[in-house]
Each structure stands twice: as structure tokens, then as C-alpha cells.
Structure 1
Amino acid sequence: MERLLSSDPSLIGGHRLAGRLGAGGMGVVYLARSPHGAWCALKVIRAEYADDHGFRARFRREAELASRLTSRWTVPVVAADADARSPWLATAYVPGPSLAEAVALHGPWPEDRLRGLGTALAEALDGVHAAGLVHRDVKPANVLLAADGPRLIDFGIARAVGATALTTDGSVVGSPGYLSPEQARGHTVGPPSDVFSLGCVLAHTATGLPPFGTGGAAAVLYRTVHEEPDLDGVPEGLDGIVRRCLAKEPERRPSARELRETFGEFAADAWLPERLPALVAARAARVLDLPVPEPTVVTGPSPAAAPETPASPTRRRLLVAGAAAGVTAVGGAGAWWQWGRRNSASANPGSPRRSRHGVALLGSPDGPFFAAHRRGALLAVEQHNRDPRRTVDLVLRTADDRGTAAGSAEAAERLAADPDVSVVIAAGTNATVPAALPVCTEARLPVLVTRADTEGLNNVKTTTALVLRSTRTIGPHAAFRYLNRVVKPARTVVVHDRATEAASLATVRFVTLHPNLDSETVLEEVAAGEDFAAAARRIAARPDDAVLFAGVRPDRAAACARALRAAGHRGARTAGEHVLAPVFLAVGEDWRIGTGYTDAGADPRTRAFAAAFRARHKRPPGPWAAEAYDAVRFAAHGLAALAGDGRSALRSELLRTPWQGVTRRVSFEATSQFFDAGDGNGGFLYRVTGGTARFVARSADIGDA
């Protein structure tokens, strides 16, 4: 347990907080004392995830279902508030170590103790499933050990939170190593998925190791889907039932109720292996020594404790007030925005009165693609304002994010405070764009993302953002089309560079766990700090196999390219746009690269745009210029259809109907609201030749005669 932070509340819903039990992306779990004096674990969901009203309804429904659980092996819900600004749920506190910690400290369990553990956890899952819940994160860390038996924690909440983090093929909720094959694939899961996870837990407890090995998440997920578990060390008397739990097909697994009958009765007086009773007792004693917690936030009760209290002014109102008071510096050194060219309404006083909307381009002027973004956006604004049929006028501004997450958040605050700004075109990077989204969400300021492609942008319902491209969740789509339609290899080796595991995991998962390549697919992992020589030799043993490099660092891609060439590999080699830098281009001859941007000067479908761009700017359009042009025109299309405040209603309007730009068809899947990349929409293929990446085709045109 950790001490409370100064920013933590002292009270939530009448519960006095004593410390932090853990924190993650979705919220914080506190140790708290209830109004009646009982210790409990109080989980608070971050407010930004609760902005979706659908989430609150799901949270309320599943908290109510969880409160009906009667199994002695689950922790009861003692209080909850789905209507608090930050929804929270409190369960009874189990002052014991987790099963993960117990196995790590004292090793595997004998068969008789495993049977008792299996009986209790199967009974817990039987109750969870009978209540209409699916746990989805059964793992050793979610099993707590008490003197009278184990307790399964976090039931139901994983499902409520996961439903908000819009999961589609390529997205996974759960813990690699303990989730089922259908869960690893991102498919809908039911009770059999929990049974698979229980089989993993029992195998781990019996052997001290997870049944699908350790290492990178991509490799573990791949083995879960494609390979058999390693059950060496599982007692002979349990091997058969554990194997049934770990069947790849959900229908072949036993039910939780059948497992209860198989494992037998639970013996409460002798269920823990030697040395563990002392550990459990020591942990329970710690709670008795806890002091009365000191207040942290002393400005009053937390919003959760007093939901009837009128809400404080929104961030947007405070920012606007600050700007009105002269807090924001405009002009001269440190100015944060600049006007574009005068719009036509001011240039032509006799023209009809039209509403004016600021379009802000957010990014770093020092970035390699910002100038192309600005020129493409400016061309779109000027063309729009010259159209006599227009119903709105546009004004282009730029906001400098300084190339940092902090700078992006600060620039977003200034834009949010300006009521004349109706939409932001996010031209920044994976490191900067996500930092701007919470501020824009609170101000209801729409954000159109052009270049950034991090998987974190997929959680669209908690922001006002629309991503105008496919993200890394589906990888370099044009490279897939090239392999499937042109190369047609017997086998494709996916090289997972674990030096950039977090950035490349989504692509690896999408390729290896889903049938997106027509060929047989195998995974080759290269550890951070390791060179590619050994992997290249293994790949070159079948020299005609195709290769997909799933990393994102140009220097690592260059090292892979050199190693493959030295090993004598002859097959097709592909990668995504992030490898395109001089260090890779110098050695990546004949590689095919899938990107999210076109070469407007070479793409036959953007000739008119390229001609207009050259006429206006006296230079050819660079990468992302045409995409920025489309983003502004897409925003103008939505603003023209609205009456009144474009800021609050623009995103909904843009989601309503598809729109055709010069680079792609902009539409979004109805449920997930992800960019629709169907039939190769929005992907482009380049070939590295002579140290330069040259445009080949749009993804949809690859392989056409």
C-alpha cells in the first residue's frame, strides 16, 4: 500500500481514505474505512471515462448485479455511486497477499491444495456467471488469500470498464498469459473465457510459470492462440481437467459448475500450503496498525461524497474568464496563434453576413511535416472562402505545441478558452496529440487527427476526437494488400522488435491473431538491445518467405534490413511509415512501405490538388499536405450543415454521413466510431529505391490489372 497523494480526496461517499492500493489507466483503488468502521477497497473510475452516459448506465447495472453475488469466495459490494463525478464502487477488503505473490515467494502448490483452490475459484465463477457477469481478467493477481479461503476480486468491473474502451478486432481487454484465445483475438467472450483463464491460473500455481510462457505480450498472445500450453509439472491427477479448461474452442471447455464437482469439497482447515498461513496472518495484522488517516484535500467533501452540491465552473469557463482578464498573451514574443489570410467576408463588405469559424492547426512549427500541413490547410481555407455559395467563413490559426505533451496541453487550453475556435486540426505526433484531448473534451472542442496513429486514440468515446486515418491497431494496411495481392508468399515472418514493444504490439497482434494475411504467419521476436543477425539467419533458412517488420524505429529497421541482406534473404520485405528516415532509406532498397499519407505529386487522383498547391505556394506538396487539406474541407462540410454553435454539435454532424476527400473516403464505423479503412481506404504503398521512398499506389488499387 502507498501513502495518499496531496491531490487525493480524504473522503469519498462517506468513506475515509487511508492509502492507495493501486492505480491504473482507468482509475485508482484506495484502502478506506466505511462510515460503519469496516475496511474496504474503494475503486474510483477517472472522470474522463465517465463522460459517456452509456458507461454510467453499464456501471450502474453491473454494480447492481455484482451486489447480488452470494458466493463466499467473492468479495461483496458494500457501496457504489454511478452518478458521482468520478463513479466509485467499494468492496470488502481482504488483507492478504495475492496468489501471484504467494507463488513467487513460496513456489508451486501440491495437488491437494490445488484442488481446494480450484473448488473455491470455480464456485466463485459459477456465481459470477449466474449473475450475468463475465469476469474477463481472472489471473493470480486477482486472487487474494485469506485464512479461510481465496477471494476472487474485480468481478464485473473489468466488463463495465472494457465496454467503454471500445473493443474491436485488434483490441484486447485482459492480461496476456491468462486470457482465452477468443479474448486474445478481441472477440466477444462469455463464461468459457473465464474457465480458460482459471485453467491458466491453476497451471501457474502448479508449476510456478504461466502455461503460455513469458516474454513480450505479442509472443504470449500468439502462443495462446496458436500453440499448446506447457503443462510440464502439473500433477497427473489434474492434468486432464486443466487441459480441458485450456481447449482452444470455447465449447470444449467444462463449465464452472462441472469444475466444482470435479475438484471436490473445499477443506477450510487445510487449504494453504506450508509457510503461507504465516504470510496471510502477517498481512492481516498490518491493517490493525494503520493510523487514522490525515486529511489530504481540505477544501471540502469530494464530488462523490456530495453529488447534490452544485458543480463548480467548468474548465472552459475558467479559461475564458482568464483570457478575458488578459492572462493569454497575444502578439509579439510568445504569441500562441496567428491569423491566416483575411477571409472573404472582411475583404468584401457587401457580401452576405456569414458566421465565422476558427480552424486551429495544432502542432510544432519545428516539426518535419507541420509546414506541409499548414500550406495544405491554408489552401483549403482560401478555396472555401472564395466560393460564393458558402454559408460560413473560415479563419485559419496555428497553435504551437512546442513538440511536447505539456506544450500540447497548454496550447489546447488556450484554444479551448477562445469561443471563436470551432475545430482543431491535430497535426502533432503520437507523443503530443493525446495530451490535448482531455482539455478539448472538457471544452467540447472537436479535434480532427491527421497524422498521429497511436492505439490510444481508439478510445474515441471519451474524447471529442475523430481520427481521419487507420491507426496502428490495424497496421500498415497497404503492406498487407501488397503481400496478399502481389507477392502471395507461402509464409510471412512478422519481426517484432521489442525495443519498441508498446508501439508495435497492436500491429503484431492484428497480424498474428487475425486472418489479415493470406499466407501462413509466424512470429520472430528480437529483444531490445539484441541485433537481428540470429533472427535473419533463421528467416533466410527459407529465403523466399516474406517479412513484415513490425517495429517503428528507423535505426532498428535499418539494422534488420542489413541483417536480412547479409543472411541472403530474397523474399519481399515490408514495414510501416515510421521507419522512413535517412538511416533506413540508405539500406532499405526494394522494401515496400505502407503509409497513411499520399504523395500528392505522384498520385493520379490528386493532380488537381497538386496543381492548385503549386500555383499557391510555388512548390510541390509535401507529405500530409493533402491530408490537412481534406481535414479542413471535412470540417467545413460539417460546419456548413449546422445552425448555431458548431463547436458542440460538429462531431455528431461529421459522424452522420460519409464524405469523399481527395485522399480518402472519410467515414466511421457505426458502433466503434473508428475510421473505416474497408477495402484499403486511406492506405498508400511506397517502394524504397535509390535512397528514396517513391509512391506506388493507393491501397485499394494494389494488384489491379
Structure 2
Amino acid sequence: MERLLPSDPSVIGGHRLAGRLGAGGMGVVYLARLPHGAWCALKVIRAEYADDPGLRARFRREAELATGLTARWTVPVVGADAEAREPWLATAYVPGPSLAEAVALHGPWPEAQLRGLGSALAEALDGVHTAGLVHRDVKPANVLLAADGPRLIDFGIARAVGATALTADGSVVGSPGYLSPEQARGRTVGPPSDVFSLGCVLAHTATGRPPFGTGGAAGVLYRTVHEEPDVDGVPEGLDRLIRRCLAKQPELRPSARELLDEFGEFGDFAADSWLPEGLPALVAVRAARVLDLPVPEPTVLSGPAPVEPAEAAEAPPSPTRRRLLVAGAALGVTAAGGLGAWWRWGPGNATANTGSARRTRHVVALLGSPDDALHQHQARGARLAVEQHNKDARRTVDLVLGTADDQGTAAGSAAAAARLAADPAVSVVIATGGNVTAPVALRPCTDAGLTVLFTRADTEDLNNVLTTTGLVLRPTQTLGPPAVLRYLNRVVKPARTVIVHDLATEKESLTVIRIATVHGKLDGETVVEDVAADADFTAAARRIAARPQDAVLFGGVRPDRAAACARALRDAGHRGARVAGEHVLGAPFLAVGEDWRIGAGYTDASADPRTKAFAAAFRARHGQAPGPWAAEAYDAVRFAAQGLASLGDDDRRALRAVLLRRPWQGITRRIAFDAVWQYFKAEEDAGAFLYRVTGGAARLVARSDDIGKET
């Protein structure tokens, strides 16, 4: 627990706050006292996020569902207000560690204690299911250990059985490693899904490791759907029961009530012996830390004294102007446009505010490496967007373009992002790097409430944006390469597609396999061809070429490996369609990948009919054709600008909520986000493009939504 900040309130809904239990990009969880003295955990959603109707509706649903639960081993709701400016939900506080922490610290549990744990959790789920609900996120972190028994918490993604899904087709809600195969496939789930998750929890507690392994979410989900669980080490007396819980088919699993009958009532276990040796002391220490806390004193909100009318003439500059002056002094930037060690103002911005003293000035910072050609393209596209914006007489805000050098490394990106986050002049960051550098900028910016827009990075590690300040402006690897999937389904229509699983880049390859097989995004039959990391593709190519008309989808990301695969298929006589994702585009692959189709997240602005005006303006400004990602960076700046115009001079923390409110149409794609989970909404595969490799270069064929019309 952490101390309250001076900016924290003293009381919320009659609950006196004592400390912070945790905080994320969207809100804070406080430890608080109810009016009658009992402790509670009070979850508060920040006002800027509560403005999102979808999020408020989800919070209201969480409160309603949790309030209706009366099962003994769930945590009761003691108060809620979904209509408050900052919605809050209070639940009874459990002063103990989570099951995840307990297993990590003290290792696997013996059979007797496992039975007690299973009994209590089965009873909790029986109550949940009897109430017509499905928890959907049963995992060790959502089980808290108290002296008198465990508690199942966090019904934030629970929903009534049979209710309409709130997620897009193919998306996964829950925690990989503990969700059911049907949940992993993005299908409708019922009570058997919770039983599967309980089986995962018990197997983990018995062995000390997740039953479907660790690593990237894609690999864990694939193993959940297709492979048997690792339950070696589960006590013999529980092995059969846990295996029944982990059956792939929901109808083969026992119900929560059947499990309770198998385990016996929790009351049959002595209260002082239900925990393994060593854990009662840990639980007691945690409880003592909280229960002995004094009644908290009120926090004090400090701020400037009000300005009297007579002093108005000497009032300090506007907050925005003051931000820029302070930041400029700290960074060694003068009015003439001086240069700091790590930050520089973009050219053409010195007169951005000319003619309108009332306009708010916002700094848009590009985070990337000047040695990266793709960053250079984006910087030119962004500069054009800023200059065009500042020439518009109708504008209500002015933009200043800055750049921060991430040195092309993850460490450099984290350090530069931390400096940007600490600079009050910066209103938004556009991360131009790839999957190694860009994602690490997220944490420092989220901690400071600074919005980060990702243009190029597509790692599935960026999918969990709900509790961050990040917004991904393109489809991620979770959707696979949408353009080539559509090309295969609408143009090629093969009877069978072979997916080459390159184990040299297993995590990325598994993402493609999951979308094509688990989620069934490819029509027709699919088979997977594994190729070891230290093997060439000769043997696999010969097997594939035995059916020369089969299509081939290369699931890896390394250009050299893709080149080896292309060469082997050519030499083996394969004649079917061959496709891959954008990461294979490099000199080795382009030299041998003739006639391959490639799905990418960027357009060729010079060849795309919908970006002709941009391409002409780019040539006039920079004296050359726009390169890859230039148009996407241009869109990112314009997307941010329309949000900043709505923001005005408000705190930058509110920008992300503003950007989430409504879709926006750019020259490259329609930018919209799911109302509940806030991931990029790829309607009609927005922002995906199909290329063909010919003559040693990749040439644009069509936007994804046009594939099948004239392709």
C-alpha cells in the first residue's frame, strides 16, 4: 500500500480514504474506511475515462453484477455509484496475499490444502452460476487468501449467461493460461468455461506452474486449444478430477456443484489448517498491517491563491505558454530555436502562433531514431501535417513538432519517453519505432498521463491498452496479416493452405497460426508445417510441393528465413499462391520472393489513388516521393490535432479519452476503437494493404477493402 497523494481526495461517497492499493492508466484503487469503521477496497475511474459511454456502461454492469452476488467465498459489494463524475465501486477488503503471490513465494500446495481451496472456489463458482453469471477471469491473481478461507474477486469482465458479446469477433477476453479453449477461440462461453479456468488454477497451485506453459499469449492460447495440459506433479488423488476440468469439450467437464460434491464442504476443513505451512503467517502479517491503521487524516489540496481583480494586469502567462517557457528553459531551448541534447523543435514552428494570441499551443513529440529510415519518412510526413495545420486560418490550436531520439534501442526509448513524460510542454507522443523500441515507451508515459500513439509497431504486447495511455493506430499481429488473408479467401480460394510455422520466430509465427486455425480466418482446409529454428526449408518445401496448388502462408518475420523458404519452394516446384506479412520485406527476401503477396500496415502514397494530394504536397515540400509510413505519420498528427482542438488548454491526461470518443477518417485508414476494450477497430480490415513482390521490389496492389473487387 502507498500513501495518498496531495491531489487525492479525503472522502469518496462517505468512505474515508487511507491509502493507495494500486493505480493504472484509468483509475486508482484505494484502501478506505466505511462510515461504520470497516475497511474496503474502493475502485475509482478517472473522470476523463468516465466520459466514454462504453466504459461507463461496462463499469455500471460490473457494479450491478457484483452487487447481486451473495456466495460465501466471493467478496461482497458494500457501495457503488456508476453515475458519479468519477464512478466508484467499493468491496469488502481482504487483507491477504493473492494465490499467485502465495504460490510464487511458498511453492506448490499439498493435496489436503488443495482440496480445501478447490471446495471453496467451487462453492463460489456455484453461487456465481446460480445467479446466472459467468466470471470469465478465474486465475490465481483473482483469488485472495484470508485466514478463514479464499475469496474469488474481480468480476469486471463477468456477464450474464447468454448476454450479447461485448468483444469483436476473434478477440479474446480473459487471461491466457487460465481461459478455456472456447474462450481462446473468441466464442460464447458458459459456466463450463469457469470450471476449466478453475482446473488451471488448481493445476498451477499443485505444481507451481501454469498447465499450458508461459511465454507469449499466442503460444499459450494455441497450446490451450490444441495440446494437453502439463499436470505432472498433481497429487494422484486429484489428477483425474483436474483432468476432467481441463477437458477440451465443455460438455465433458463437471459442473461447479459436482466439484463441490467431490471436494466436500469447506467446513470439513479446519480453519487453522486450510493453508499450507508458512502461509498463515504471511496472511497474518498482511492483515496486521491494515487492521492496525489509524483513522486517516484529511488530505490537503494545495493550489495558487485566487487572483484579485486589481492584480489581473500582472497575472502570470497562460498555463500553456508557461508550460512551454519552463520546458524550454529546462531543455536549453531559446526563443530562437536552440537545440538540447536529446530534444529538438521541428523547423517551421517558430511562427506557429502568429496572429492569434488566444490559440493554445501543443507540442507533438516524435519518438524514434534519426538513423532509422522509416522514422525519417514519418518525420517528414508529420512535419507536413504540422505545417498544413498551422496555415489553416480556422484552427483553434497551434502545433509545435518536436523529436526525441530513442537511439534505436529499447533502453534508449524508455529513457527518452521518461524525459518526454516529465516535460509539461508535451501534449502527445507519436512513437515511430518498431516492436523492439516503441512498446517500452508506454509505461513512463502512462504513469504521467501522457498519450502515446503507435504508428508502426504491431506486436500483440500492445493489445492490452485498456489500462494505459497508448492507442495503436493500426491492426496488430493479433489479426494476422489481414490483407493476405482476404487475398487468399477472395481471390485465390485454395482448397488447402499450408501455414509455415518458423520456429526461429516462434512467438510471431504462433500469432499467424492462431488467427488462421484457432479463429478460422482462412476458408478451406489449413495445415501447419513446422520448421525448426536451426533447419532449412528444403524438406518442408518438398512436402508442400507434393500438392503444388496449395497456398502457402509464411508465419515468420525474419527476411533471411523468408528468403530461404521462398527459395526452397521455388526449387521444389511449388506453383500455388505464396503470402507473408510485412516484416519479411528486406533485401534477402526481395531478391528471391518474386510474385509473393505481402500484407502490410502502410500504403505506398505515390501509388495509392486515395493519397494523391498528399503525395503531391509531400514532393513539393520535401523534393522527393513519400516513403513507407510517411502518410501514416501524417494521419497520426492530424488525428492528434483534432483531439487537441477539443481538449483546448485542459490537462493532457484527458486527451486519450477525447480521441476514443468518435471515429476519425484519415487518408490511409479509418481510425476507430472498440468502445469497451479500446483496441484498434479493424472494420473492413481498415489500414491493411496488399503488395506484390516483382522485380526485386514490393509494389502496392490494393487496399484490403478493395481486394476481390478488381484484384
TM-score w.r.t. structure 1 length?
0.71
Correspondences of 1:1-400 after superposition (within 5 Å): 90-91=93-94, 93=96, 121-130=121-130, 134-138=134-138, 151=150, 156=155, 168-174=168-174, 176=176, 178-187=178-187, 189-198=189-198, 218=218, 221-222=221-222, 224-225=224-225, 246=247, 248=249, 255-261=255-261, 263=262, 265=264, 280-281=276-277, 308=299, 310=301, 323=326, 326-330=329-333, 331-332=338-339, 334=341, 336-342=343-349, 355-400=360-405
**For residues 255-314 of structure 1, what are the alpha-carbon distances to aligned partners after superposition, in whole Å with 9 as ceiling and x for unaligned?**
4224445x374598899xxxxx99934665788999x99xxxxxxx99x9767454899x
- Shift of residue 437 of structure 1? 3.9
**For residues 511-538 of structure 1, what are the alpha-carbon distances to aligned partners after superposition, in whole Å with 9 as ceiling and x for unaligned?**
3322322222334455655655565555
> Taking structure 1 as reference, are residues 311 and 463 closer, same or farther at Cα in structure 2, changes over 3 Å only?
farther
> Taking structure 1 as reference, are residues 195 and 371 closer, same or farther at Cα in structure 2, changes over 3 Å only?
same
The residue that corresponds to 1:406 in the other structure is 414
> Taking structure 1 as reference, are residues 355 and 247 closer, same or farther at Cα in structure 2, changes over 3 Å only?
closer
Q: Which moves more between the two structures, 651-660 or 113-122?
A: 113-122
- Shift of residue 680 of structure 1? 2.9
- Identity, % of aligned pairs? 60
The unaligned stretches of length 5 or more in structure 2 are 4-15, 34-38, 160-165, 305-318
- Check if 1:491 corresponds to 2:492: no
CA distance in 2, matches of 1:520, 1:61: 40
CA distance in 2, matches of 1:25, 1:392: 26
Task: Look up the SS of the partner of 1:547 in the other structure.
Answer: strand
- Shift of residue 451 of structure 1? 1.7
Task: Look up the SS of the partner of 1:630 in the other structure.
Answer: helix
The residue that corresponds to 2:554 in the other structure is 549
> Taking structure 1 as reference, are residues 352 and 238 closer, same or farther at Cα in structure 2, changes over 3 Å only?
closer
Correspondences of 1:425-440 after superposition (within 5 Å): 425-440=430-445
Write the letter of the residue equivalent to 1:334.
A
**For residues 601-631 of structure 1, what are the alpha-carbon distances to aligned partners after superposition, in whole Å with 9 as ceiling and x for unaligned?**
2223323322222222221111111222223
- Check if 1:664 corresponds to 2:669: yes
- Shift of residue 448 of structure 1? 3.4
Write the letter of the residue equivalent to 1:194.
D
CA distance in 2, matches of 1:604, 1:224: 44
Question: CA contact under 8 A between 2:99 and 2:144: conserved in structure 1?
Answer: yes
Question: CA contact under 8 A between 2:692 and 2:701: conserved in structure 1?
Answer: yes
Q: Which moves more between the two structures, 360-369 or 201-210?
A: 201-210
Task: Look up the SS of the partner of 1:597 in the other structure.
Answer: coil
The residue that corresponds to 1:479 in the other structure is 484
CA distance in 2, matches of 1:528, 1:43: 48
- Shift of residue 635 of structure 1? 3.6
CA distance in 2, matches of 1:647, 1:24: 16
Write the letter of the residue equivalent to 2:347.
G
CA distance in 1, matches of 2:653, 2:118: 52
> Taking structure 1 as reference, are residues 621 and 288 closer, same or farther at Cα in structure 2, changes over 3 Å only?
closer
Write the letter of the residue equivalent to 1:127.
G
- Shift of residue 454 of structure 1? 2.8
- Shift of residue 684 of structure 1? 0.8
Question: CA contact under 8 A between 1:374 and 1:625: conserved in structure 2?
Answer: yes
- Shift of residue 576 of structure 1? 1.6
The unaligned stretches of length 5 or more in structure 1 are 7-12, 35-39, 161-165, 272-276, 294-300
- Shift of residue 480 of structure 1? 1.0
CA distance in 2, matches of 1:14, 1:637: 37
Question: CA contact under 8 A between 2:352 and 2:399: conserved in structure 1?
Answer: no
Question: CA contact under 8 A between 1:65 and 1:132: conserved in structure 2?
Answer: no
- Shift of residue 388 of structure 1? 4.8
The residue that corresponds to 1:585 in the other structure is 590
CA distance in 1, matches of 2:2, 2:657: 38
Write the letter of the residue equivalent to 2:388.
Q
**For residues 315-369 of structure 1, what are the alpha-carbon distances to aligned partners after superposition, in whole Å with 9 as ceiling and x for unaligned?**
x99x95994694323234615122321576677x6x9975544433332211221
> Taking structure 1 as reference, are residues 43 and 551 closer, same or farther at Cα in structure 2, changes over 3 Å only?
farther
Correspondences of 1:437-452 after superposition (within 5 Å): 437-441=442-446, 445-452=450-457
Q: CA RMSD in A?
A: 6.0
> Taking structure 1 as reference, are residues 58 and 549 closer, same or farther at Cα in structure 2, changes over 3 Å only?
same
**For residues 408-455 of structure 1, what are the alpha-carbon distances to aligned partners after superposition, in whole Å with 9 as ceiling and x for unaligned?**
3134235x421xx54433323334434444554566554433222233
- Check if 1:679 corresponds to 2:687: no
- Check if 1:596 corresponds to 2:604: no
Question: CA contact under 8 A between 2:98 and 2:140: conserved in structure 1?
Answer: no
> Taking structure 1 as reference, are residues 104 and 456 closer, same or farther at Cα in structure 2, changes over 3 Å only?
closer
Task: Look up the SS of the partner of 1:369 in the other structure.
Answer: helix
Question: CA contact under 8 A between 1:557 and 1:584: conserved in structure 2?
Answer: yes
Question: CA contact under 8 A between 1:470 and 1:682: conserved in structure 2?
Answer: yes
CA distance in 2, matches of 1:697, 1:596: 12
Task: Look up the SS of the partner of 2:593 in the other structure.
Answer: coil
The residue that corresponds to 2:424 in the other structure is 417
> Taking structure 1 as reference, are residues 156 and 544 closer, same or farther at Cα in structure 2, changes over 3 Å only?
same
CA distance in 1, matches of 2:144, 2:392: 67
CA distance in 2, matches of 1:443, 1:24: 11
Question: CA contact under 8 A between 1:181 and 1:224: conserved in structure 2?
Answer: yes
- Check if 1:510 corresponds to 2:530: no
Alignment counterpart, residue 701 of structure 1, candidates 702, 706, 711: 706
Question: CA contact under 8 A between 2:203 and 2:211: conserved in structure 1?
Answer: yes
CA distance in 2, matches of 1:247, 1:373: 46
CA distance in 2, matches of 1:607, 1:96: 58
- Shift of residue 380 of structure 1? 2.6
Write the letter of the residue equivalent to 2:195.
V
CA distance in 1, matches of 2:641, 2:98: 58
Task: Look up the SS of the partner of 2:699 in the other structure.
Answer: strand
CA distance in 2, matches of 1:566, 1:234: 53
> Taking structure 1 as reference, are residues 86 and 97 closer, same or farther at Cα in structure 2, changes over 3 Å only?
closer
> Taking structure 1 as reference, are residues 310 and 659 closer, same or farther at Cα in structure 2, changes over 3 Å only?
closer
Question: CA contact under 8 A between 2:109 and 2:205: conserved in structure 1?
Answer: no
Question: CA contact under 8 A between 1:171 and 1:506: conserved in structure 2?
Answer: no
- Check if 1:689 corresponds to 2:661: no
> Taking structure 1 as reference, are residues 400 and 488 closer, same or farther at Cα in structure 2, changes over 3 Å only?
same
> Taking structure 1 as reference, are residues 103 and 525 closer, same or farther at Cα in structure 2, changes over 3 Å only?
farther
The residue that corresponds to 1:9 in the other structure is none
Alignment counterpart, residue 629 of structure 1, candidates 623, 634, 647: 634
CA distance in 1, matches of 2:569, 2:301: 64
- Check if 1:467 corresponds to 2:472: yes
Aligned length: 666
